[in-house]
Amino acid sequence: MRITRSIIPNLFTLANLFSGFSAITLIADGDMPKAALFILLAGIFDALDGVVARLTKSASELGVELDSLCDAVSFGVVPAFMLYAIYFKPLGNIGLLIAALPALAGVYRLARFNAELTGLGDKEYFTGMPIPAGAVTLISFAVFFEPSGLLPNIGKDSFVPAIITVFTSLAMISRVKFDNVPRFTAKSLRQRPFFLLCFATAVIIGIWTKGVFVFPIMAIYLAAGFIRHLAQIFRNNTDDDGDDE
């Protein structure tokens, strides 16, 4: 095996996978909060591998494929297994199917992303909710928001977990455009100062509330993507009507 500069970002990518595997073992042991922290750690490694690849100028197609394979485990299989363990195991085969939806949708979205990839540079928007964002949405609900008791009527016996799981999975395979995580750079600050400020504020609120408000923030992120998509459809239909006249 020839050792090149690409080995450095690839090690961060593999650390993402190791964090995901560690989360699986913790879920099997019933330690959901610690498992959630390892999923967060996987997300940090997932972000760092791209940063390191750009710094070392070692971005490659191999790195893209490796990143997708690791993401499929850490942000697809792991959240699905956690949802099954917390909510859906008593439902038998139906519960198994519902719990598997984030993994199925996430893997499909990753495959579609790779098939449509035209370059290795940063993108302002992603088509379909990114699989790490989907994982954060589901994990933050199951581990932090629902157990907090802020909305006491949302219980493990309700349909709410299933609805959130299905809707998040559909968002991942949709054609709705979602904002990419901004880079904390001078260029990003000039181009999208408001979004960068919103992202930084969301991170601070998530930390300050010990994860409880992460799910509401992700719900806003989801809603913003769909609202923008519907507004674009309305705008296009209006323009078409104007052209017909």
Dist CA 182 CA 200 (whole Å) = 9
Cα–Cα distance list, 56 to 3, 99, 123 (Å): 14, 39, 19
Multiple choice CATH, 7-238, 1.20.120.1760, 3.40.640.10, 2.60.40.420, 3.30.700.30? 1.20.120.1760
**Would you list the domain boundaries of the chain?**
7-238
Single-letter amino acid code for the residue at 118: T
Dist CA 53 CA 82 (whole Å) = 31
CA atoms within 13 A on the CB side of 87: 30
* Nearest Cα residue to 172 out of 102, 232, 83: 102
- Provide the whole-model pTM: 0.88
Dist CA 185 CA 192 (whole Å) = 11
pLDDT tens per residue, range 103-158: 999 999 999 988 887 665 556 788 899 999 999 999 999 999 999 888 877 766 67
Would you give the DSSP letter of residue 89?
G
Could you give the 3-state DSSP secondary structure of residue 70? helix
pLDDT tens per residue, range 161-213: 999 999 999 999 999 999 887 665 666 667 677 778 888 899 899 999 999 99
- DSSP E strands, 63-218: 125-127, 177-179
Single-letter amino acid code for the residue at 229: H
186, two tokens: 């001078």
Dist CA 135 CA 156 (whole Å) = 19
